[in-house]
């Protein structure tokens, strides 16, 4: 009886403090930092399944809103049936009315996005009509970009008229070609809308608004949880066993096991309060990875979620370089941590080599899915690929950092030289090597003679450049790949096929472009050094992120002349041009400028849901590639020509991988190679 009284008094005091039972009493007994973490975790959790319920709510809201409010597939038009034209996604029906009696017309077409391209024959319209009954030809036209139409007199091959027009998806249009008698006998070409198109971008807009609404709701919930009264009310509803579990998991977390000192390691490499993991890095990696999964699954079949045909940027062109960039940051942070734990450089070199080898092997397996196409033919194996490039890039950058690794200064505020350029000066051997690599890229790109092609050619070939160099796709980059690897071992359907009708194989993950991916990864290393060299100095970190963002942005401006096609070195994902690297690296520093204070300094955002796939990036990437054609990532659509249905399918598939990553994170299952 006497022993029960102190325990009862302790519980009563805990309730008076708003703790809510024995679980909180245990939390009060924990160290101060652990107690604060457990209280925050308990306040956010509310119930064990809250995170799962929120994810399910987001997924259901996105799918239902898109299904109920978005337009469907191709509408049933009488004109389509009459002219026997079956419209597909991103197409419209164009009826060309030739009122020029006795004059046959040849109609040529091209996309406004196709730079300096030969016009392609669209349709021929005879001039055998009668007054009041013109000859009519029906044809499907693209609606992704503006169209350039040129009508020529077939017999004289002279231009009759030329116009530019942006057609809408599943719309019906008439192009009227007739004489205009206004004192001068002229020919007019006018476009008339017979039936209005659908708004194909409405599903994306709805999905975006739903996402914004969920973000606002979560922010409001976090605000409520920051209020003491509401937080105390939530805390009282938490099971004491759940609190005990959180305390134990925090104190026994593997991430804390490596923070203890080790007197046997070299003095220079003893830990100096180095953060083992920055949430902004994993969050950034998760953002790039989730965008990559969504894009690879189709992105709702929208053109801006596909790779550019040649020069320029789309959403799909952003994700891979950002993944490379953040890989560079992770290389430096993890390598520093491993060396501080006493691992020898020779042993670490073995780990680097083995991991690079595994990445390359897994990549070759993924890009050759012959289990669906029959037995693998070694004569047709594609050698380059995303993971292959990551493996080579990782090996070069990691070995470079390992060779010249130095202990991180205790505090840069104690040394004057640290005030400005210590993170750069300490890496001068690496920078020298990177500049030599970039010089090799520039020399090969602009001075290597390519048979049948102009030296320094950066174009797509095909019908580009007025069809002068049809087999010169990629210039030196394409030539080196075809020479060293062979046409059959390269990607056979590059994005340049879409607009430029290229005929030669070209691989966007080829040999020459790997040089610039190494450069981009090293810029990521620089970001990691800023985070580590100036730890706990938020202002200095943000100043350096801003400086790098502006510096790389100015380099891009100089290379491109703020033009998509007219610059010295255009931004080009297929080539991985240096302007592409500087532009995307500038964006990456800007994103870290936003994420670091929001996620790691102020704690305004935990990084969810992107943080979870960022912690299991290899598993999510390999899994989404291998199980691409399996349910629930893909199923038979009711209307295969509907952006809405494709968007729903791709959003669901991406959300499932986020959910898988969340579950694996909670189970502490991580796939590392």
Beta bridge partners of 148: 110, 164
The CA R_g of the chain, rounded to the nearest whole Å, is 30
Query: Cβ(456)–Cβ(475) under 8 Å?
Result: yes
Q: Is 173 exposed, middle or buried (0-12, 13-18, 19+ CB in 10 A)?
A: buried
Closest CA to 536 of 174, 318, 273, 280: 273
Q: How many CA atoms lie within 13 A of 245 on its CB side?
A: 10
The set of catalytic residues is 307
Enter the tokens of residue 390. 């990551």
Q: How many CA atoms lie within 13 A of 349 on its CB side?
A: 10
Query: Cβ(308)–Cβ(336) under 8 Å?
Result: no
CA distance 167 to 94: 9
In sequence order, which residues have a C-beta less than 8 Å from that of residue 38 and are 6 or more positions away? 27, 30, 243, 246, 247, 250
The sign of the torsion formed by the CA atoms of 597, 601, 605, 611 equals positive
Enter the tokens of residue 167. 């057609």
Query: Cβ(122)–Cβ(152) under 8 Å?
Result: no
Query: Which three-class secondary structure state does DSSP give residue 138?
Result: strand
CA distance 231 to 414: 41
Query: Cβ(140)–Cβ(93) under 8 Å?
Result: yes
CA distance 279 to 600: 6
Enter the tokens of residue 661. 């990553």
With vertex at residue 72, the alpha carbon angle to CA 67 and CA 74, rounded to the nearest 5 degrees, is 165
- Kindly write down the DSSP assignment for every residue of 633-661, as one continuous string: T----S-TT-HHHHHHHHHHHHHHHHHHH
Q: For 105, phi and psi rounded to 5 degrees?
A: -115, 140
Closest CA to 167 of 203, 192, 138: 192
In sequence order, which residues have a C-beta less than 8 Å from that of residue 608 and are 6 or more positions away? 51
Enter the tokens of residue 623. 């899994």
Do you know the residue count of the chain?
A: 673
Crossing angle of the two packed helices 345-366 and 316-340, in degrees rounded to 10: 150
């Amino acid at each position: 009886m006497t022993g029960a009284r102190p325990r009862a008094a302790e519980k009563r005091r805990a309730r008076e403090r708003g703790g809510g039972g024995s679980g909180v009493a245990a939390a009060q007994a924990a160290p101060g930092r652990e107690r604060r973490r457990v209280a925050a975790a308990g306040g956010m959790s509310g119930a064990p399944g809250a995170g799962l319920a929120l994810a399910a709510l987001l997924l259901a809201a996105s799918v239902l809103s898109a299904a109920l409010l978005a337009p469907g597939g191709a509408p049933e038009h009488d004109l389509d049936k009459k002219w026997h034209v079956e419209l597909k996604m991103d197409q419209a029906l164009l009826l060309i009315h030739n009122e020029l009696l006795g004059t046959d017309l040849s109609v040529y077409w091209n996309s406004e996005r196709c730079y300096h391209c030969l016009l392609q024959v669209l349709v021929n319209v005879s001039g055998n009509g009668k007054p009041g009954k013109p000859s009519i030809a029906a044809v499907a036209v693209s609606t992704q970009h503006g169209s350039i139409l040129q009508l020529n007199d077939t017999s004289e091959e002279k231009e009759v008229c030329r116009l530019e027009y942006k057609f809408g998806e599943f719309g019906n249009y008439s192009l009227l070609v007739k004489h205009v008698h206004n004192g001068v006998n002229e020919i007019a070409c006018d476009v008339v809308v017979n039936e209005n198109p659908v708004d194909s971008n409405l599903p994306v807009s709805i999905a975006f608004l739903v996402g914004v609404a969920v973000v606002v709701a979560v922010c409001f919930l976090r605000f409520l949880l920051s209020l003491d009264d509401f937080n105390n009310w939530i805390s009282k509803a938490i099971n004491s066993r759940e609190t005990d579990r959180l305390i134990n998991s925090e104190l026994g977390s593997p991430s804390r096991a490596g923070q203890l000192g080790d007197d046997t390691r070299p003095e220079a490499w003893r830990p100096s309060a180095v953060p083992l993991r920055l949430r902004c890095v994993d969050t950034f990696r998760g953002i790039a990875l989730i965008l990559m999964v969504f894009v690879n699954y189709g992105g709702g079949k929208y053109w801006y979620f596909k790779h550019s045909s040649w020069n320029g940027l789309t959403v799909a062109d952003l994700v891979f370089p950002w993944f490379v960039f953040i890989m560079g940051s992770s290389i430096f942070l993890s390598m520093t941590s491993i060396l501080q734990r006493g691992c020898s450089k020779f042993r670490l070199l073995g780990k680097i080599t083995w991991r690079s080898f595994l990445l390359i092997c897994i990549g070759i397996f993924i890009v050759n899915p012959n289990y669906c196409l029959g037995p693998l033919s070694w004569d047709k194996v594609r050698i380059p690929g995303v993971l292959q490039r990551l493996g080579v890039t990782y090996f070069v950058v990691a070995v470079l950092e390992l060779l010249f690794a130095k202990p991180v200064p205790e505090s840069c505020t104690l040394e004057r030289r640290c005030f400005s350029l210590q993170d750069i000066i300490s890496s001068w051997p690496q920078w020298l090597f990177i500049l030599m690599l970039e010089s090799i890229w520039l020399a090969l790109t602009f001075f290597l003679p390519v048979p049948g092609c102009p030296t320094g050619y950066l174009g797509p070939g095909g019908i580009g450049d007025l069809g002068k160099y049809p087999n010169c796709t990629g210039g030196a980059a394409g030539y080196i790949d075809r020479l060293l690897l062979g046409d059959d071992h390269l990607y056979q359907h590059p994005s340049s096929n879409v607009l430029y009708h290229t005929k030669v194989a070209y691989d966007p993950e080829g040999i020459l472009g790997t040089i610039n991916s190494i450069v981009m990864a090293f810029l990521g290393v620089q970001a990691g050094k800023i985070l580590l060299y100036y730890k706990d100095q938020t202002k200095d970190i943000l100043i350096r992120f801003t400086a790098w963002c502006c510096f790389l942005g100015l380099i891009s401006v100089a290379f491109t002349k703020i033009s998509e096609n007219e610059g010295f070195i255009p931004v080009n994902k297929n080539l991985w041009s240096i302007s592409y690297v500087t532009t995307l690296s500038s964006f990456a520093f800007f994103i870290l400028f936003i994420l670091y204070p929001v996620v790691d300094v102020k704690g305004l955002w935990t990084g969810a849901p992107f943080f979870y796939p960022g912690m299991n990036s290899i598993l999510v990437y390999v899994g989404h590639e291998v199980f691409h054609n399996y349910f629930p990532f893909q199923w038979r659509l009711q209307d295969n020509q509907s952006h809405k249905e494709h968007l729903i399918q791709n959003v669901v598939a991406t959300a499932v991988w986020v959910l898988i990553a969340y579950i694996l994170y909670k189970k502490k299952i991580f796939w590392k190679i």
